[in-house]
Chains A and B, each alone.
Chain A
């Protein structure tokens, strides 16, 4: 009996002394690379003294929901869900990644090398891959472009294939399942670097942007000390060799802190799409 009480006390004291922070990941970065995620979280744990647990979701909608319910504390999401859900799901910007030294990226239109498509507008009536319905580069940007050209994407493409992952969109093009795809430029560059045999069969025919990078957001209710500690470690990663090594696995150069207004271009696009009386695809995305 005494032993049981002793073990219970130890467990409780340990759980109290080391606060668990749940870190969410979506298709923004290559979630397949769980090893990289582990290294990243271990690094954070080392630097902050907190214990980190990864939480993966398929879609941004799921992640927003988990954040709103306090089931995820920190998350790597996209600019579009940040803009759309930050008030309803109650989270805020922590840091933004630096790609090639800048907190910006592009939305690429890719196709197979031998295909003769020159623009996203050439894919009329063809199967075309979007990543997450809420992704900026993989959904919002091509929708915006098509709307601007007078097309509704769900009618323009036959059909839109949602892969919920930029890297899967790249594979869908590679296998010829879709004729083209809109993907995150950072992910594409990463695939080009890690899997040249795939990238060599593909080509980028258009690049839209630049757009503000996919941010790391934090639940608003979380302790300010935690926010501070995390922001400090993340921003300082690029100055630390171990940190740099982990950053390079994500093809990033570091993290920086930006103001909420940095995401205004995305806000503008969302406003345009809403005004175009877009029939929500959210229903589909949420199922």
Chain B
């Protein structure tokens, strides 16, 4: 039963409507027909009876006259006339004693016979006071109903055309509703497919609830369309904005899984689709030396085809992490270029100085070449010149020769001890005090280059001080940087010379080659470090060298292996 109800409820609106119509018609018309038939039958019967009574009433005077005069024949003609009516089966006129005066079937009821039995109409004919007789009729109900039959048939089937009309009407309305609903869904279907431009108002001839519904849908979708367009515009705007900036922007979840990236990811050889769901950590290599607390830190992007140096920034927004990467390979290249140019300019300057020195050295040879015979002094001068030239060329070659940077692990204490032992004699001769302050740690770097830096700086410092002065060396390891400071209490460097002290072959000393500080600088660059000088005339000079190193081995608390 419940399934049946559920099934009936699930029928299409049209079917339901049609069935309702039919049920309604059937429910109203069938009982109505029944009632009407019942009523009509009653009315029809009563009408028949009434018309027969009327017939008798209209003839009452005559009948009274016939009875009084015993005019049997006229009475007979009367009863015959009555039975000629289809509704009457028997008609009889009896006298006051109930004796037959005339019966429609005279053979059965001859004049004077007693008439009994049930009659349908008994119309008494009154005399002055008493009844002098009566007209009795037995009705032929069969023939009455036979006469009524067509009316009954008509009444019974009168509901049929209404049922048919309701059926047709129901079908029509249902078809109309269906087609209208289909039009609404079709218009929405198009929008569902994303074709928002084709949003058209569905208009029906019927301005009813369905039209209201369609209008409501239309206005709602239109509002949504505007909203969507706004969002779309905003999205495009921000997307374009994101794509116009130089940074690669990632948006990740709390665990670092990428769910958005701007177009700049193409620059590292990926598309967004390749990266979705990947962890941002798998895309970069962090520089372990850098502090994580920094807002920006230098990383290497593991691009598809190459590794790219970059600065990585990170912002937390609600549950998201917005990660930006700025490609700094250009900057790195520029720095490299700058360094190379610096080196080149050094080389150029060096060459100019070298050429000048060489020219100076060659001058005696040039002068002596016009002489026919050489004196011993001349030969010594030539020899000295040649020796000077040879030394110049060798030095130049040594300076220009690329030095392989071989990194080894060594103790800072030992290397400082080694260097100090080389210059200790020279310092003692001049009465200079050497002060040493060195972190007792092992570092990995180029021992050879650092030795050269220390030798040159310390010997220069000793040269710069007069007796009673001090020369100091301080070596510290701060995180990943080796800091070397060499100071003296010497004459100091005049301001005008400070800019040139690192130029090759520039010297203020009589015995110097002019290459010492150039070599220091070259080595510092080779170790990717930096050098700084502070000097004050008459007070002293301090050189500060910073060299990046990889890792610090040990410390003061570790056993000294130097």
Contact = CB atoms under 8 A, between A and B. Distances in A.
Interface string A123-138: 0001101000000000
Interface in A20-51: none
A199 to B, nearest CB: 19
B73 interface: yes
A205 B102 CA distance: 25
B80 A175 contact: yes
Interface string A151-168: 000000011011110001
B110 to A, nearest CB: 6
B69 interface: yes
Contacts of B73: 129, 161-164, 168, 172, 177
Contacts of A175: 76, 80, 106
Contacts of A284: 69-70
30 contacts: A127-B72, A127-B110, A127-B111, A127-B112, A129-B73, A158-B111, A158-B112, A159-B70, A159-B72, A159-B111, A161-B73, A161-B76, A161-B111, A162-B72, A162-B73, A163-B73, A168-B73, A172-B73, A175-B76, A175-B80, A175-B106, A176-B106, A177-B72, A177-B102, A177-B106, A177-B111, A178-B106, A284-B69, A284-B70, A287-B69
Contact of B76 (A158, A159, A164, A172): A172
A129 B111 CA distance: 12
Contacts of B80: 175
A168 B77 CA distance: 10
B112 A159 contact: yes
Nearest to A165: B73
B441 to A, nearest CB: 161
Interface in A89-145: 126-127, 129
B464 to A, nearest CB: 179
Interface string B110-127: 111000000000000000
Interface of B: 69-73, 76, 80, 102, 106-107, 110-112
B102 to A, nearest CB: 7
Contacts of A164: 73
B112 to A, nearest CB: 6
Nearest to B110: A127
Contacts of A163: 73
Nearest to A159: B111
A177 B69 CA distance: 17
Nearest to B101: A159
B107 A162 contact: no
Nearest to B76: A177
Interface of A: 126-127, 129, 158-159, 161-164, 168, 172, 175-178, 284, 287
Contacts of B70: 159, 284
Given A175-B106, A176-B107, A177-B102, A161 B72 contact: yes
- Top 10 A-B residue pairs of the complex, sorted by shortest distance between their CB atoms: A161-B72, A177-B106, A163-B73, A176-B107, A127-B111, A177-B76, A176-B106, A161-B73, A158-B112, A287-B69
A127 B112 CA distance: 9
Contacts of A129: 73
A42 to B, nearest CB: 31
Contacts of A127: 72, 106, 110-112
A129 B76 CA distance: 12
A58 B448 CA distance: 178
Given A127-B72, A158-B111, A176-B107, 7 more contacts: A127-B106, A162-B71, A175-B80, A176-B106, A177-B76, A177-B111, A287-B69
A176 B69 CA distance: 21
B114 to A, nearest CB: 14
A284 B69 CA distance: 7
A129 B73 CA distance: 9
Contacts of A158: 111-112
Contacts of A178: 106
A126 B110 CA distance: 9
A129 B72 CA distance: 10
Contacts of A159: 70, 72, 111-112
**Quick one: which of B73, B102, B106, B107 has the most chain A CB within 10 A?**
B73
Nearest to B105: A176
A130 B176 CA distance: 84
A287 B68 CA distance: 10
A127 B70 CA distance: 12
A287 B69 CA distance: 7
Nearest to A112: B107
Contacts of B111: 127, 158-159, 161, 177
Contacts of B69: 284, 287
Contacts of B110: 126-127
B92 to A, nearest CB: 12
A168 B72 CA distance: 12
A175 B79 CA distance: 12
A231 B111 CA distance: 45
A175 B73 CA distance: 11
A164 B66 CA distance: 13
A162 B74 CA distance: 9
Nearest to B108: A176
Contacts of B71: 162
B463 to A, nearest CB: 181
Contacts of B72: 127, 159, 161-162, 177
A163 B75 CA distance: 11
A159 B69 CA distance: 12
Nearest to B73: A163
A159 B107 CA distance: 15
A84 B51 CA distance: 46
A127 B72 CA distance: 10
Nearest to A125: B112
